[in-house]
Amino acid sequence: MEIRSEKNTIAKLPSSVVANAPLIDRPVKIPKYLKNIKLVSKPKMPEDLSSILLKMLSNPNIASKQWVYTQYDHEVGIRTVIKPGSDASVLRLDNGKFISIKIDGNSKHCYVNPRQGVMGCFDEACRNVVCTGATPIGVVDHLQFGNPEDPEIFWTFKESIEGITDYSKYFEIPCVGGKVSLYNETDNGPIKPTPLIGVLGLIDSVPLVPKKVEDSDLLVLIGSTKDELGGSEYYEYIHGIVGGNCPSVDLAVSKANQQVILDLINNNVVKTVHDCSKGGFAITVSELCIANEIGCIAYLDKIPSENLRLDELLFSESHSRFMLVISKKDHNYVKKILEKREIIHSFLGEFTGQNIVFKDRAKIVTSIRVDKAQEKWLNSLGTLVSHG
Span 189-244, pLDDT tens digits: 999 999 999 999 999 999 999 999 999 999 999 999 999 999 999 999 999 999 99
Q: Which residues pair with 142 in a beta bridge?
A: 179, 196
- Tell me which of 147-156, 312-321, 349-358, 377-386 is least confident: 377-386
Q: How far is CA 106 from CA 6, 230, 241, 277, in A?
A: 44, 12, 16, 10
For residue 375, give the DSSP letter. H
* Fold that domain 85-207 belongs to in CATH: 60s Ribosomal Protein L30; Chain: A; (3.30.1330)
Q: HSE, CB side, 13 Å, CA atoms: give it for residue 205.
A: 8
pLDDT at 181: 97
* Fold that domain 43-64+210-388 belongs to in CATH: Phosphoribosyl-aminoimidazole Synthetase; Chain A, domain 2 (3.90.650)
Span 33-48, pLDDT tens digits: 998 887 889 999 999 9
The alpha helices in 217-304, defined as continuous H runs, are 233, 239, 251-266, 281-292
For residue 377, give the DSSP letter. H
For the entire predicted model, the pTM comes to 0.93
Q: Is the pLDDT of residue 25 over 90?
A: no
Q: How far is CA 229 from CA 34, 79, 104, 246, 257, in A?
A: 15, 39, 18, 6, 21
Average pLDDT value for residue range 79-94: 92
Q: How far is CA 38 from CA 30, 42, 71, 108, 277, in A?
A: 13, 11, 41, 14, 21
What share of residues in the chain are helix, strand, coil (percent, to 5)?
35, 25, 40
Q: Is the pLDDT of residue 69 over 80?
A: yes
Q: How far apart are CA 265 and CA 255, in angstroms?
A: 16
The two beta strands, 322-326 and 272-275, are antiparallel
Span 298-324, pLDDT tens digits: 999 999 999 999 999 999 999 999 999
Where exactly are the structural domains of the chain? 43-64+210-388, 85-207
